[in-house]
A = this chain, B = another copy of it.
Amino acid sequence: MRLIALAPLAYAVSQAGGFGWLAAGTDVADLKKELQKVADQVAQNPVPGSSSDFLPIGVGFINWGVELETALEALREHIPAAVWFFAPRKNEDLVEWTRNIREVSKGKTKIWIQIGTVVDAIEVARSCHPDVLVVQGADAGGHGLAHGAGIVSLLPEVADSLRGMGMGSIPLVAAGGIVEGRGAAACLALGGSGVVMGTRFLASKEANIAKGYQVDVLRTTDGGRSTVRTSVYDTLRGTVWPRQYGGRGIINQSYLDAQNGMIIDENKRLYEEALQKGDHGWGESGRITAYAGCGVGLVKEVKYAKEIIDEVRQDISEVFWKLSHASSKL
């Protein structure tokens, strides 16, 4: 959601009773400006029930690509309710991030850390004592571990392992493949305290997203078949993620050509050409990367963030109401 979930989307989600995130990612140059925008919106129209001690949104970092000092500088001015760490060069780096942000915010900013394996969950739980662990399953769009489990297996095993080491009180928030009420209800059934959704908000009115990208998201069906986790898109874009990660995106001509053995220089040249085509550069026969998760096939319509959140919430309640009545017959 880097460059897509900016101030308008983050604020809208929180205003609607969710918890919105500014996806700073690796780009913190504009972070101060974005935080200021949220602060301005909050000043005009506060988020009901939120404290004035901090901004009612979180800031997500892709840690390998950000200097801690630069991030702290932005956060000093506007303290967010939470930060989200993902993909450090090594887990130990997060200890310093955690300590510094807790210091700067005087403990006001909650620390969320995203993991994709049980072993990482245990390691960061021990070393950072995060306020929340985001458990990312393999269906997630964008970047995640190249090799891992879906949420159905991962979340319960993380929960049991943390409980086994006396850290069962850390809330687990599920990510990866969740785009609507059924998936969200499923993740609560797995033991999650909440869910995060990215792909669904690609088709939100408040997303900062190219029309071509959004159209691609809406047209794509059969998410598991139409998307792939790969390093091809990173290579084309010239971003160098640590080796263990891959980015899930909609399969397009760049990916197919790479699979068919096209040399990277030629693929890159065609990619650069496609970038010039604007919205027409996306699509099945296009070449611009459309990161999206396996749930993309369930995203059919662009809606306001508030509509999305209201629907998910309503659907969760319905699922449980139905099932609690059905399960009494088990």
Q: How far is the CA of A182 from the CA of B191 in the complex (A)?
A: 7
List the one stretch of A171-179, A232-240, A283-291 in contact with chain B: A171-179
Within 8 A of B (CB), among A171-211: 176-180, 182-183, 185-191
* Inter-subunit contact B221/A157 (CB<8 Å): yes
Does A317 count as interface, using CB distance less than 8 angstroms?
A: yes
Q: What 0/1 readout, one digit per residue, does chain A (141-156) give for beta carbons within 8 Å of chain B?
A: 0000101111111111
Nearest chain B CB to A118's CB is how many angstroms away?
A: 4
Q: Which residues of B contact A328 (CB under 8 A)?
A: 317
A126: min CB distance to chain B, Å:
15
Instruction: Choose the segment among A45-53, A86-94, A293-301 that binds chain B (4+ C-beta atoms closer than 8 Å).
Output: A293-301
Contacts of A154 in B (CB 8 A): 223-224, 294
A222 and B157 contact, Cβ closer than 8 Å, known pairs A150-B151, A185-B189, A189-B319:
yes
A320 and B317 contact, CB distance less than 8 A: no
Q: Are A177 and B157 in contact (CB under 8 A)?
A: no
Q: For residue A223, which residues in chain B have a CB less than 8 angstroms away from its CB?
A: 149, 153-154, 157
Smallest CB–CB gap between A176 and chain B, Å? Answer: 7
A222: chain B residues at CB < 8 Å are 117-119, 157
Q: Complex Cα distance A282/B188, Å?
A: 36
Q: Is A280 an interface residue (CB 8 A)?
A: no
Question: Which residues from chain A sit less than 8 Å from chain B, CB to CB?
Answer: 116-119, 137-139, 145, 147-157, 160-161, 176-180, 182-183, 185-191, 221-225, 228, 293-295, 297-298, 313, 316-317, 319-321, 323-324, 326-328, 330
20 A–B contacts, CB within 8 A, in A order = A118-B225, A147-B225, A150-B152, A150-B177, A151-B152, A152-B176, A152-B183, A153-B183, A153-B223, A153-B224, A153-B293, A155-B182, A156-B180, A157-B222, A161-B221, A186-B186, A188-B327, A316-B327, A317-B327, A320-B326
